[in-house]
Structure formats: C-alpha cells, structure tokens
Structure 1
Amino acid sequence: MTGSMEKASHVDPKLASSPDLEHVEAGKEASIARPNAISKERTPEERALVWKQDLRIVPLCATIYLLCYLDRSNIGNAKTLNSSTHNDLLSTTHMTDYQYVIALMVFLIAYAIFEVPSNYFLKKLSPSKWIAFLMFSWGAVTMGLGATQNFAGVTAVRFILGMFEAGLFPGLVYYLTFWYRTDERSIRVAFILASATLAGAFGGAIAYGVGHMNGTHGLPAWRWLFILEGIPSCLSSFFVFFFLPDFPETVKWLSAEERELATSRLEFEASHGHDESLTWAQAKATLMDWRLYGHYAIYFGISTPFSSLSLFTPSITAGLGYKDLLAQLMTVPPYAVAYVITLLVSYSADHFNARGLHSAVMATIGAIGFLASAVLPAESYHSRYGCLIVAASGAFSCIPPLLGWLSCNLHTTGAVGLAIAINISIGAPGQIAGVWIYKADQATRGYPTGHWTNAGLLFFVAVGCVCLRIYYGLLNRRILRGGDVSGEVKRLFRY
C-alpha cells in the first residue's frame, strides 16, 4: 500500500501537527505549495470559462449518452410491446425467455471486452472522431435489429451493438478529465449518466407511441421501434464529428488567454488531455494500485441493479397489473424521479466533497426499496410500484458520485482513462448477472429473486463505501503524521 500512498499525496511534514488534519477528516485536500489549487473559490474569469465549457460540452455529451442508452435498452420495450396480440419480439422471432436472456448477455460480454481498448482509440484518434464513429455504428446496428428474424440474428446483432457501445460511457468520463478539475466532475458525470434515466423515461413514452404503429407497412411495432430509435444516432454522429470539442489546447472558440487558463487550472491535477499518452509505467502503477480494487468491487455491486432495472423495468411494470402499451407508459415515472434525484445527489456530493457518504446513503435507500418490494404481497401492486420508484432512485443516483470518487483520486489522464475503463469492465459481470435474476416464471409472484438480489448487492455497496471512506481517512492521517516527503507536493485522498 506504500505505492498507493506515494502516488496519492505529498504534504509538508509541518502539516502533521497542524489544524489541517481536521480539513482532511472533512474530505478536503491539503497542499503547502499551492493552497489554492483545490479551493472551491473561482475567479470571475475561471467561472466564465467553466460556464463556456459547460455550454459546449455537457448538453452534447448527455444527448450522446441518452441516444446510446435508448438504443441499448429498447430491447426490453420490444419484448413486451403488443405481447397480447403476439406481435412482440419473442413471438415474432420464435425466441424463448431463455434465449432472450442469452441475447442480453452477449451484449454485455462484448461490452466488457471492448471498453478498455476503446479508451485508447479515443485518445489516439481524438474524442470527436472516435465518438462520432461509435454513434453512427451503433445507430446503424440498432436499425439492423429491426430486420432480425430469429434467435441467431438477434444474438449476433446484439453482440455487435455491445462492441460499438462499449467505449462510450468510460470514454465520456475520461473525456471530462481533459476539461474539468476533480471537484467539478461528479455533477457533470451525473448530468451524463442521468440521461440514462431520462432515456428510460423517453423509451417508455416512445414505445407507447410506436406501439400504435403495429402492422404499419406489414411490420410489427417492435421492428419500427428499433428502426426509429437507430436513425437519430446515425444523424447525430455528423453533428458530433464537427462540434464536439476535443482538447482545451486545440479549440478555436476559446481565446488564447482562455486556453492558457483552461490548461493551467488542470496542471496541479496532472490532467494534460492533448499532450499526455498512457505510458507503460502509468499502466503498471494503475494495475498494481490495490486500493482501486475497492472501487472496482463496489462498482461491481451496483452494476447488477443498474443492468436489471435498465432491461427489465417494462417486465416489472407488466407484472404489476399494467398490460401492453400501459406497461410501457408506466415505466416513465420511476425513471423521471430517478433523473431528478440523481442530479440533486451528485450536486450535493460535489458541494460537500463527500462522495462516499452520498453513495452509501443512496445505496441503502435503494436497497430498502428492493427489500420492501420483495416482502410485500404479490397483489400489492400500488405499494410495489412505489417501491420500484424508491429502488430506481437509490440505485441510479449513487453511481455518479462513485465514478467521481474514483477519478478524483487519480492524477494523470492516462491513469484515469485506464482505471475508469477497468472499473466499468469489472462491472460487466455484475451486469451479466442482472439479466438472469428477473425470472419470467416469477412474474406473478413479483420477481422476488431479482428484488432480493438487488437489495443484498446495494447493502454491499453501502458497506463498501463506508469501509473505503474509513480507509482513506486512515491513509490521510498516516500521510500527515509520517512526514515522508521527497520534495514534491503530495495530495491527500478525497472521499
């Protein structure tokens, strides 16, 4: 663990006996060489710069992820769309429930395989070019899903879809490190990730509307759903190619003074988007930094609830007495509430610099929602629907602070890119587990296996966050009291 400490922090030995130790316990960062490096106070010029960046970057990134998530999760809507008339995905392609789960799983296998290499290409080819390529590709593949005829076709196309979608989310989180300081990232990651919940809300509403197209030009509605939701991704890729800014050093819409400020404000955090490539030394140090595996384990725990809610919310609502198109429409409120809660929690986590605590609290709330849904009688439809809203809000809202917590304790763009990709790749087995826990034969009983599993994993996430927060606090105390300084400014761990 000495290696982890050396990478994380250098402080003046005088701090060991200073009141700054209390700052550490509040989650603050101490630095004798540059005390303002982590100050939340911004000059008017810096505030104007960040706002200018936000207008160009955050809405566009959130829209990109919304389209990605819409194309990923619409298979859940296709499964139940017009099922009463046997015009749904499974009936038309003659797939069983088991084969449907296999089709979901192969997407996640591809997702895990291609995440890490995708971040390499994002840096190598530039964000705008690589993300535009991914968008056009997954949009075209989504449209291709509308032409599949059987289990083999659906499974093959879903694997290809996972291959192209794999790099987007870790790539966007990595991309933000080129533009924002550590204490600025969680809320922006939240805006991007929250668009997944927004996509869930939109997806239900869109499926409700498209459901009325059943039989148009001889096609069942689920085929129209894939075709119509793939088109926006293809068209938007051209906009992204031309308008997504790559690095602060290269954009034309910043003045020379603003470009200098944009790069200098990140120097203390060793975030050099355009200049720095991942070296073998950085890769080895990141892979051997064992404290990061605590973050990875926690993210594994949250991945199962995230995945299962994303893919099975239409099935869960259908099991609550809502049928066909109404079941699609009733998926909207849980996602809409989760969207608002996610933004509020992420803002609070950044504002109070307490990402671990916020994640622990929200994971506990989500676990209680799943637990209550598991123990309530199967016929308690309204109560279980309320529990679904609570569970979704807790499960989704703890993810942005977790990702912000990981990235703010890494201080080179190379390490951030690799660690985020590894983090999400390790979460992939958890997502794969998520496709198996909501069993079709338990629909009339309220899916107890799925709810119990998600409740247990969210309690695990909460305990893991508390333990990691305590561990970081102990490391900070050792750093401050040890005085092992080699001449460079050291950072304390944030939590």
Structure 2
Amino acid sequence: MIPSRIPPVRTSQSFAPPAVAASKEGDIVAEKRLLRQLDLRILPAVALMFTLWSLAGNLGNAIILNADTGDSFLQVLHMSTHQFYAVAAASSLTTTLFQVPSNYMLKYFSPSYWLAFLMLGWGATLMVMAASKNYITTLFLRLLLGAFEAGLTPGVVYFSTFWYRCQERSLRIAFVYASATLGGAFGGSIAYGVASLNGVRGLEGWRWLFLIEGVPSILLAILVYFFLPSFPETSSWLPPDDRALAIRRMKQESSKSLSHDKITWAGAKSTLKDGRLYLHYLLSMVSCIPPISLALFAPTIINGLGYQGRNAQLFAVPPFAASFVATLGLSVVADKYRVWSMCCLVSYVIAGATFIVQGTLPPTAFKARYVLLCFGAMFSTIPVGPMPAWFTSNLRDTNATTLAIAFSSTLTTGGGVIGVFLYKPSEAPGYRTGHYTNGGLLFFCAACTQLLRMIYKRRNKELQIGQNPWIV
C-alpha cells in the first residue's frame, strides 16, 4: 500500500553542520558587500561616460538649433543634404575600423588608462569642432571623433566581464547603456538653453553646444584615469579578503577574462569558426539601427509634428527619458528570472509594431504619432541591457570574450551607418520609409532572437555530464 503522504527527502544542506551553514551565509554577506563596493566605484563613472559619449556623437540637436534665425549647423556651414549624411556617417566608419584593435589596447594598457585616453580624445575633438568653418574640416573631425569613440562600447562590455558574473551584468549594463538615452534627454534640454547663447561673443548656438558638451568629457577622463579599477588582481583599493573574493568569483565563471589570461591565435581561430556567434553579430548590427536613427533624427521628426524651434528640443526629452526608465525596469526582471532573451524578443515585437503603425498614420495625426514615437524609442532601446548580458554569458574563454565582443560592437556601429540614411528630408513630415524600415528590422531581430534560443536549447540537449549549460 502506497502511503498517502510521502515524507520530504532531506537534501545535503539539511545535514550541513552549523559551522558550514554559517560559513555559506558569511560568503553571501561578503559577496553582497563586495558588489556594493564595486557598484559604487564602477557604475557612476561608466554611466557618466556613456552619457557624455552620447552627447558627443549626436548631431541631432545641432541640426535644428537656431534654424529659425538661419544659424543652424547646416546653414552656417552651407552643407547639402548629402554632405550632412557623409558627416553624420563619418564617425561610424572610423568607429567600425577601430573597435577590435581598441579592445586589445584596453587589455594591454588596462581599462582605466585606455578609457581615460579615449574620453580625453573625444572631448578635445568635440571642442575643436566648435571652430569648424567648412564641410571638409567637419568631416575630418568627425572621422577623428569616431576613432576615439570606437573603444567605449565594446570596452565597457568587456570590462564588465572582469568584475561581474553573467547573472549580475544585465541590470548593470542596462544602467550604463540606458545612460546614453539620458544623453539624448539631456541633449534636448541643453540645446534648449544653449539656443539663447546664439550670437554671444560672435558664436552661433551650435558652436556653444559643442564647447559645452566637450568640457565634461575632458574633466571626467582625469577622474577615470585615477579612480576606475582595472582588474581584480590589481585592485589595491579593496581589502585583501574582498580582493580574494573578487578573483575567486570570476574564476568560477564560464567566460574567464582575468588580467593574466593570454589571448592565443588558436583560441581566436576557434572563435572565428563558431557559427552561432555570427547570428549574434547580425542581431547586434540590426537591432541598433532603430534607436540610432531615432537618436539622430528624433528632434527633426518632432519638428515635423508641429513643435517648432526650441520647443522641438524640449519635446525630444520624453522619448529618451522613458527609454531610460523602461530599460532599467525590464533589466531587473531579466536578471531576476534569467529571461534575457525573452525580454529582448517581446521588446522587439512591440517596438516593430509601433513603427509600422506610425508609418500608416496620416502626417496630421500629431499626438498619436508622438505617443507612438515614445513607445518605439522605449521598446527598441530596452534590449541594450539584456542582449549583451545574454551574449557574454554564452562566451566561454578570454579569446571569445575579447574578440567576439569587439566584433559584435563593430557591426553594431556598421548598423549605425545605415540608421543615418533612414529618415529622408523629402519624406517629411510622415517619414514612412524610415518607420516601415525600422519596423521590419525589429521583426527581423525578433526572428533572430528566437532562432538563437532554439540553437541553445538544442546544444543543451547535446551536453555531456558536468558541462556548463548554455543560457537560453
């Protein structure tokens, strides 16, 4: 006779002596303390770097700043539409070329030195752009700006693998990446105020904008150089016990990226031959096109919704502010339940639908189009945290981590070049081509995400006993 109630099976933890249980509890407390120290030391500086980077690379506000008085960036430099496209895309070209070398430089020189150098370079370049007199000079400076900006995105993702476990990265990467959307929000607010400086000391408003946005990058570069920690092994600011814990934590990760690990040619070839990584690269490239196109053209699109002059700058703030909040909120969910890919999949579908609907609305439906613009910006930006966390959690050694992150970021920048050309002035104010293209690209991203989920599920079924599972 089968008993009606089977007594619970005691796990090995039930037999643990009090000393062992206390030790485990002490480890948890120590790890939480370590994470607090890391977050306070790393996240504010890196998030501010992304905010300033977003300000430096975005021409969107300069395009329409003081256009009503004939003093905008395009009007003063007498640029044609095609010349503006070339200037806007120039930084993406050099960023694409220099991202892989930059990731190697970051490991060779250490993150604090290399990231500080990059910030100093782009801050100085942005300030020099304020003195631009013609198209050729501006084009050259944008190429130089892109070379300095190249190392930030892949460098920060790579840097996070030195300090955080995969289940700890999504929210933190999301916070850092979402700070770039704050750059879009602050950019509109700054441009609104700078518009009143037009003509002061003989300088147009956009020149003041470049000067004001360049100075903070130079100042932050100095702080990053002295205070940003590079590797757990060299972190003299941590107490010995915490430093040992930081090193031990990362040795337990499947993607080991400690400072002493060497990058080998054999490992690099293995990474290059891994087919599923190329699907990740493609996803990274395509998924960045909608948010980048909006970052550049949101003020112009809003200008076509009936909000003119300085008001167009102010109304560019809510879409980016909403993106920041939503990105952090969904990343908390993704980290807590380890559903990084699912958060991305759902976000891509919703964002794609909002862009398609925007394209079908009449140009005069100002309020509906503005609300959909906010939702499109929000849901197309949400994956910036979960997607890198999912990607890096499925990298298994220092070769894959160093090389794959740089390749992924390089193609992301290549996608940014495409985003420059989506919203054509001739299609104002409806911009149907831009909206339909973004919608289609986001649905494509959803399909790629689902295909990757299927690949990882199949790989998990083929694992041998003792092998680390792939993150679905």
Question: Is the TM-score greater than 0.5?
Answer: yes
Work out whether 1:159 is the aligned partner of 2:143.
Answer: yes
Matched, 1:77 2:61: yes
| 1:263 to 2:240 alignment | no
2:467 alignment partner in structure 1:
490
Partner of 1:299: 284
C-alpha distance in structure 2 between counterparts of 1:97 and 1:80, whole Å? 13
Q: Tell me the residue number matched to 2:391.
A: 406
Between the aligned partners of 1:80 and 1:277, the Cα distance in structure 2 is 49
Partner of 1:178, secondary structure, is helix
**Post-superposition offset of 1:464:** 1.1
Quick one: which of 198, 207, 217 aligns to 1:214? 198
Structure-to-structure mapping, 1:361-400, within 5 angstroms = 361-400=346-385
Which letter does structure 2 place at the counterpart of 1:330?
F
Q: Among residues 453, 456, 476, which one is paired with 2:460 in the alignment?
A: 476
Deviation of the 1:42 alpha carbon? 6.8
The question of whether the paired residues in 1 share the 8 Å contact of 2:170 and 2:389 is answered with yes
Measure, in 2, the Cα distance between the counterparts of 1:176 and 1:426: 20
Counterpart of 1:104 in structure 2 is: 88
SS of the residue corresponding to residue 445 of structure 2 reads helix
How does the TM-score come out when normalised to structure 1? 0.89
Greater relative CO (CA pairs within 8 A, separation 6+): 1
Per-residue CA deviations over 1:256-291 (Å, capped at 9, x if unaligned) read: 111111011111225242211321122111111111
**Residue identity opposite 2:383 in structure 1:** C
| AA matched with 1:235 | L
Q: Is the alpha carbon distance of 1:43 and 1:381 closer, same or farther for their aligned partners in structure 2, counting shifts above 3 Å?
A: same
SS in 1 for 2:405: helix
CA contact (8 A) 2:178 2:384 kept: no
One-letter identity of the residue aligned with 1:492: P
Q: 3-state SS of the aligned residue for 1:177?
A: helix
Over the aligned positions, Cα root-mean-square deviation in angstroms equals 1.5
Q: 2:127–2:214: 8 Å Cα contact kept in structure 1?
A: yes
Q: Is the 8 A contact 1:177 1:413 kept in 2?
A: no
CA, structure 1 residues 42+345, in 2 after alignment: closer, same or farther (shift >3 Å)?
farther
1:278, 1:415 within 8 Å by CA — same for their partners in 2? no
Q: Which residue of 1 aligns with 2:233?
A: 249
Q: Does 1:343 align with 2:328?
A: yes
Q: Deviations over 1:360-380 (max 9, x none)?
A: 101111111111111111001
Residue 141 of structure 1: aligned partner: 125
CA distance in 1, matches of 2:376, 2:292: 13
- Following superposition, the deviation at residue 429 of structure 1 comes to 2.6
What percent of counterpart residues are identical? Answer: 42
Which consecutive aligned stretches of 4+ in structure 1 deviate over 3 angstroms post-superposition? none
Provide the TM-score with structure 2 as the length reference: 0.93
Q: Are 1:171 and 2:189 an aligned pair?
A: no
Deviations 1:414-463 (A, max 9, x none): 3212111101112233211110110011113x111110000000001111
Instruction: State the match for 1:31 in structure 2.
Output: none
Describe the SS at the equivalent of 2:235: coil
Supply the distance in 2 between the matched residues of 1:153 and 1:97 (Cα, whole angstroms): 17
- Tell me if structure 2 keeps the 8 A contact 1:276–1:414: no
Work out whether residues 257 and 401 of structure 2, in 8 Å CA contact, stay in contact via their aligned partners in 1: no
Match of residue 212 from structure 2? 228
- Partners in 2 of 1:338 and 1:370 — Cα distance? 15
Deviation, 1:478, is 2.1
Match of 1:67 among 52, 67, 72: 52
Residue in structure 2 matched with residue 240 of structure 1 by the alignment: 224
The 2-side partners of 1:147 and 1:316 are apart by 28
Give how far 1:299 is off.
Answer: 1.2
Contact 2:250 2:258 in 1 (8 A): no
Note the alpha carbon deviations across 1:399-422, whole angstroms, 9 max, x for none.
221111110001223321211110
Structure 1 SS opposite 2:462: helix
Q: Which runs of 5+ in 2 are unaligned?
A: 1-23
Per-residue deviation at 1:307?
A: 1.6
Rounded to whole Å, the distance in 1 between the matches of 2:95 and 2:257 is 27
